[in-house]
């Protein structure tokens, strides 16, 4: 029983991570694009449930250190790689569109701090990587959703055909399949009404003929 529970939770946790990182739910790459590090959503922190936050706090305890601190933070969620992947957004704004060689010239002229070229290169790489990861997550959603939508559409079409089949057969039982489809509409006259109309046109309709129109129609 315990093994099945652990296995189920593990599978659910993996699906939760896949939904965030592969399919972009919650936009974990937004902070990365802004130079603030990777916004890790935690594990199974869905709505009011927040299982990851509860489990992380339980593992960390009152004084988290070492592995306990890392596992607890991973379960609870938080910002990772803030220092190594962080950058100043104002730096990119200032040198937007400028070539690294041009920035290097500005740096040598003393109008930019030493190391600005490396900082700009680092910032552009991180922002580009985050944009690429977001694009991949969107592409993953399309790749999964498109076949499902196509299959759903095909299923609706096939279901409509399956429903129309028996209805069409029941409509043609009395006519041997010879009745035109136009006669199946709500505006179509019944066979009795057409017989009466034919008798009226032939000027043979009288009170004694009502109920026997079809016989007179085919004489």
Which pLDDT score, from 0 to 100, does residue 156 have?
Answer: 82
Which pLDDT score, from 0 to 100, does residue 215 have?
Answer: 61
Q: Record the tokens describing residue 118, joined without a space.
A: 């490396």
Mean pLDDT in consecutive groups of 10 residues from the start of the chain, 219 residues: 81 86 83 89 84 88 84 88 86 92 94 93 92 87 83 82 67 53 53 68 56 57
Question: Helix or strand or coil: residue 179?
Answer: coil
- E-assigned strands of the chain? 38-40, 78-80
Q: What is the DSSP string of 4-33?
A: HHHHHHHHHHHHHHHHHHTT-TT-TTHHHH
Which pLDDT score, from 0 to 100, does residue 138 have?
Answer: 83
The count of residues in the chain is 219
Which pLDDT score, from 0 to 100, does residue 181 have?
Answer: 53
At 39, phi and psi to the nearest 5?
Answer: -85, 95
Angle at 218 between CA 213 and CA 219, to 5 degrees: 100
Which pLDDT score, from 0 to 100, does residue 108 have?
Answer: 93
Which pLDDT score, from 0 to 100, does residue 183 have?
Answer: 54
Which pLDDT score, from 0 to 100, does residue 188 have?
Answer: 55
Phi-psi region of 77 (alpha: psi -120 to 50; beta: other; left: phi over 0): left
């Amino acid at each position: 029983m315990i093994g099945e529970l652990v296995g189920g939770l593990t599978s659910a946790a993996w699906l939760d991570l896949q939904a965030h990182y592969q399919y972009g739910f919650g936009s974990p790459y937004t902070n990365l694009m802004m130079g603030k590090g990777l916004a890790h959503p935690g594990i199974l922190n869905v709505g009011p449930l927040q299982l990851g936050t509860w489990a992380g706090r339980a593992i960390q305890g009152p004084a988290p250190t070492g592995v306990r601190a890392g596992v607890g933070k991973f379960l609870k969620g938080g910002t990772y790689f803030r220092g190594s992947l962080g950058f100043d957004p104002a730096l990119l704004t200032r040198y937007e569109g400028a070539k690294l060689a041009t920035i290097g010239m500005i740096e040598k002229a003393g109008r930019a701090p030493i190391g600005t070229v490396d900082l700009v290169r680092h910032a552009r790489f991180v922002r580009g990587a985050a944009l690429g990861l977001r694009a991949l997550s969107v592409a993953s959603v399309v790749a999964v959703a498109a076949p499902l939508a196509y299959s759903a559409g095909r299923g609706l079409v096939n279901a409509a055909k399956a429903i129309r089949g028996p209805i069409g057969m029941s409509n043609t039982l009395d006519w041997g399949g010879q009745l035109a489809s136009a006669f199946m509409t709500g505006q179509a006259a019944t066979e009795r009404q057409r017989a009466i109309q034919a008798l009226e046109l032939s000027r043979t309709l009288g009170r004694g003929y009502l109920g026997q129109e079809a016989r007179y129609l085919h004489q």
